[in-house]
Amino acid sequence: MIRRLATAALSLSALLALTGCGADSSADAAGKGQVTLTIGDQAKTLQTIVAASGALKGADYKVKWAEFEGAAPLYQAVQAGAADTTYSADLPALQALSGGVRFKNVAALKNDGRHVGIVVGKDSGIDSVKDLKGQKVVVSSAKGSIAEYLLANVLKQNGLSYSDVKVQYLLPTDAQAAFASGKIKAWATFGVYQAVGLEQGGKLLVDGADGRVSGYGFIGASDKALGDPAKKAALSDFLGRLGRALTWTSTHQDAYAQAIEQRNGADSSVAKTLASAAYSKALPVTAEVNKTVQGVADLMNGIGVLEPNVDVAESADTSLLK
């Protein structure tokens, strides 16, 4: 069910397989010098939303999709100038900013946090967060993922320190295979991988609801793209269309779930889970958003995961989405 997701490239070589979205863009765009935006995506998420909702109909620019399995290779593509935009939860964006990737957060995304969770094997003997003490916990995908923030935060909430667990980082498809074979007891993961782990018999120990994660994600734009007036104008238009597409997913969950099935290869139960937990809004990057995400940055900096720390407010460009 995640076979198609497993084929997503883990390096910049994936950009050789960029797929045009000509059916959704202006049919007259080709050959007339219109702007082309290369939109960074993970596991076809944004691509599915945009295509299913018809959000790009009538756009006077072209869109190409740069698809990756996780946030880390997507930010590498942006750093290399091979993608114009980013798409991730808050902590991967912070990690990339801390690592010197040159981009700005231009829109905030919001959901209830249920898209990230810690899944344990049914015979793991782990029944509470406190039972994680002394255990190895696999975190997907790389250091600084939203799954790692959930782990750090729930450990803190339960009186444990981050050093009380042994963290191992694995890319999601590798972790999924190891979890399915019983080699992993506890897996901090997200999205389709969380849904598949549960479908294969895993048990949800805790998810990110009720403030255990911020619920915020970001669309970012590279400094290079923001410095190009034509691309910046197209990005502003794209963000408005994406916002409408996200609203569509929350009001057409059955149709969205069907699109996930068709385009991502997920079965119906996984698709419904993903549809119900998706980001449902695109919001301006406000002072409130920055304050909430700064709390995420400060916690992760405090345990040595985010070095150096990030000033979230200074990492935003609020001019594209009002």
Q: Three-state SS for 292?
A: helix
User: pLDDT-based confidence at 2, cuts 50/70/90?
Assistant: very low
Q: By percentage, how much of the chain surpasses pLDDT 90?
A: 72
- Between CA 128 and CA 146 the distance in angstroms is 20
Q: Which amino acid is at 114?
A: R
Residue 318: predicted pLDDT = 94
User: pLDDT-based confidence at 11, cuts 50/70/90?
Assistant: very low
pLDDT tens column, 142-153: 788 889 999 999
Residue 33: predicted pLDDT = 63
Answer yes or no: is pLDDT of 20 > 80. no
pLDDT tens column, 89-116: 899 999 999 999 999 999 999 988 988 9
Residue 24: predicted pLDDT = 41
Answer yes or no: is pLDDT of 317 > 60. yes
Answer yes or no: is pLDDT of 273 > 90. no
Strand ranges across the sheet with 36-42 = 19-20, 62-68, 36-42
21 or 14, higher pLDDT: 21
pLDDT tens column, 274-292: 888 788 889 999 999 999 9
Closest CA to 91 of 156, 139, 43, 136: 139
- Between CA 92 and CA 297 the distance in angstroms is 10
- Between CA 265 and CA 267 the distance in angstroms is 7
- Between CA 320 and CA 322 the distance in angstroms is 7
pLDDT tens column, 21-78: 333 443 334 445 689 999 999 989 999 999 999 999 999 999 999 999 788 899 999 9
Residue 46: predicted pLDDT = 95
Residue 4: predicted pLDDT = 32
Strand ranges across the sheet with 103-110 = 85-89, 216-222, 103-110, 281-283
Structure token digits, residue 53 = 């909702």
Answer yes or no: is pLDDT of 303 > 50. yes
Residue 35: predicted pLDDT = 96
Q: By percentage, how much of the chain surpasses pLDDT 70?
A: 90
What string of DSSP letters covers 295-313? HHHHHHHHTTSSSS---TG
Give me the mean pLDDT over the 202-217 stretch.
96
pLDDT tens column, 158-185: 999 999 999 999 988 899 999 999 999 9
- Give the CA distances from residue 149 to residues 91, 95, 207, 214, 247, in Å, rounded to whole numbers and listed in that order: 7, 11, 11, 10, 27
- Between CA 87 and CA 70 the distance in angstroms is 10
Residue 13: predicted pLDDT = 27
Flag the least confident range among 138-152, 194-208, 220-234. Answer: 138-152
Residue 276: predicted pLDDT = 82
- The dihedrals phi and psi of 206, each to the nearest 5 degrees, come to -165, 145
Residue 269: predicted pLDDT = 83
Q: Three-state SS for 23?
A: coil
Helix, strand and coil content of the chain, in percent to the nearest 5, comes to 45, 20, 35
Helix (H) or strand (E) holding 166: strand 166-169
